[in-house]
Amino acid sequence: MSRPNLFGMGPEALAAALADAGEPAFRVKQVYGWLYHRRVQTIAAMTNLPKALRASLGERHEVRWPEVTERTLSFDGTRKYLFRLEDVATIETVYLPEDERRTICISTQAGCPLKCAFCLTGIAGYRRNLKPAEILGQVATVMEEHPVGQTHPQRREADPFPWNIVMMGMGEPLLNYEATVASLRVLMDPKGFGVPPRKLTLSTVGILPALAKLAAEPVRPNLAISLHASDPGLRRALMPIEEKYPMGDVVDMALRYPVPRGGRVTFEYVLLGGVNDSPAHARELVRRLAGRHAKVNLIPLNPAPEIPFHAPRPEAVDAFGALLAAGDVRVSVRRARGQDILAACGQLHLKKAAATAAPPRP
């Protein structure tokens, strides 16, 4: 039996753990700082705690980050981490160093229940919500190996490039509200990971009640909305959640979301060849978003054999983007990355699952 994990506990849980060990409340701040600011991986390394306290704390608790079982490096520098969790669920994290920015893409659920028609994670199915330790552990692991945004003295020199963290890996963060928000608090806390809110983006299909709650949180990340269609009929065909939370309401609520200073709501639009990539679709999107304080991120589909759609033609991507720009909608196009290592959206995880389910015959 493993001892309860300190990593992942918020201030209250830490206070309770320390009280159990007979320690005064001021220790909470010290332990919290070791866990999330300095990010040591043993209780023994918390050197400003008295030896006796480290010993008694160590009898009851430990510090465990999720276990990396596979690291893959793409020709373009993209790094993919596969984590095996304690119940053998697997999740993925991707680190994307681009020319002028670095991005860490993390998961919030093992699998996903939403079943969007073009998404491999949805096709593979849903397992469970991640715990704060599993969400924070992904960031801690990548930051340990890559010096993005590191400022405190014990670390390597800071990487000078802009960087950000996106909750765009496996799962729907707003269906795992408590753990997601608990993790965001520790990530954005200057005494924790110290990630400025504008550098953190939560991507969601728009679970309306949870989105309203997020908008009312005292500190909020940036917001990206998975739209993927310019009209409700098409969106319903691609994303079953449209039935419950219609895009009109989602767009309205997103445009009212209080973004952090310097931020802007993003609408993600996966382009599927011949399905949602025509000039008429682009014009309809302009009608809905022209002149609003938002931007559209066009994402050419990352195709895979299991996905029943194909990538858009490059000319269609260009034409779509040009129509948005001409219609007063800010637009960017996401380049595909890490394709040789299946870094896109659940692919490595799926390959593994298939390999376990059906070993190749001799």
SS (H, E, C) the chain: CCCCECCCCCHHHHHHHHHHCCCCCCHHHHHHHHHHHHCCCCCCCCCCCCHHHHHHHHHHCECCCCEEEEEEECCCCCEEEEEECCCCCEEEEEEEECCCCEEEECCCEEECCCCCCCCHHHHHCEEEECCHHHHHHHHHHHHHHCCECCCCCCCCCCECCCEEEEECCCCCHHHCHHHHHHHHHHHHCCCCCCCCHHHEEEEECCCHHHHHHHHCCCCCCEEEEECCCCCHHHHHHHCHHHHCCCHHHHHHHHHHCCCCCCCCEEEEEEECCCCCCCHHHHHHHHHHHCCCCEEEEEEECCCCCCCCCCCCCHHHHHHHHHHHHHCCCEEEECCCCCHHHCCCCCHHHHHHHHHHHCCCCC
Residue 342 binding ligand SAH, by CB under 6 A: no
State which residue, 6 or 238, has the beta carbon closest to ligand SAH: 238
46, 165, 168, 259: which one contacts ligand SAH (CB under 6 A)?
168
- Of the candidate spans 32-40, 42-50, 283-291, 299-307, the one that interacts with ligand SAH by CB under 6 A turns out to be 299-307
State which residue, 41 or 297, has the beta carbon closest to ligand SAH: 297
Task: Report CA torsion sign: 57, 61, 65, 69.
Answer: positive
State which residue, 270 or 331, has the beta carbon closest to ligand SAH: 270
The yes-or-no answer on residue 345 being catalytic is: yes
Residue 307 binding ligand SAH, by CB under 6 A: yes
182, 265, 289, 345: which one contacts ligand SAH (CB under 6 A)?
345
State which residue, 116 or 136, has the beta carbon closest to ligand SAH: 116
Site for ligand SAH, residues 270 to 289, rule: CB under 6 A: 270
Catalytic residue among 105, 112, 119, 345, which?
A: 345
Site for ligand SAH, residues 75 to 134, rule: CB under 6 A: 116, 118-119
Site for ligand SAH, residues 212 to 231, rule: CB under 6 A: 226, 228
State which residue, 5 or 108, has the beta carbon closest to ligand SAH: 108
Please report, as a single letter, which amino acid is at residue 20: D
Report the alpha-carbon distance of residue 89 to residue 71 in Å, rounded. Answer: 17
Site for ligand SAH, residues 239 to 268, rule: CB under 6 A: 268
- Of the candidate spans 28-36, 47-55, 64-72, 300-308, the one that interacts with ligand SAH by CB under 6 A turns out to be 300-308
Report the alpha-carbon distance of residue 288 to residue 157 in Å, rounded. Answer: 45
Residue 57 binding ligand SAH, by CB under 6 A: no
Catalytic residue among 23, 92, 172, 268, which?
A: 92
- Of the candidate spans 95-103, 126-134, 208-216, 294-302, the one that interacts with ligand SAH by CB under 6 A turns out to be 294-302
Q: Are 188 and 221 in contact (CB under 8 A)?
A: yes
Site for ligand SAH, residues 177 to 206, rule: CB under 6 A: 203-205
Minimum separation from the CB atom of position 181 to ligand SAH (A): 15
6, 28, 148, 299: which one contacts ligand SAH (CB under 6 A)?
299
Minimum separation from the CB atom of position 144 to ligand SAH (A): 24
What residues act catalytically? 92, 345
Residues near ligand SAH (CB under 6 A) are 116, 118-119, 168, 172, 203-205, 226, 228, 268, 270, 299, 301-302, 307, 344-345
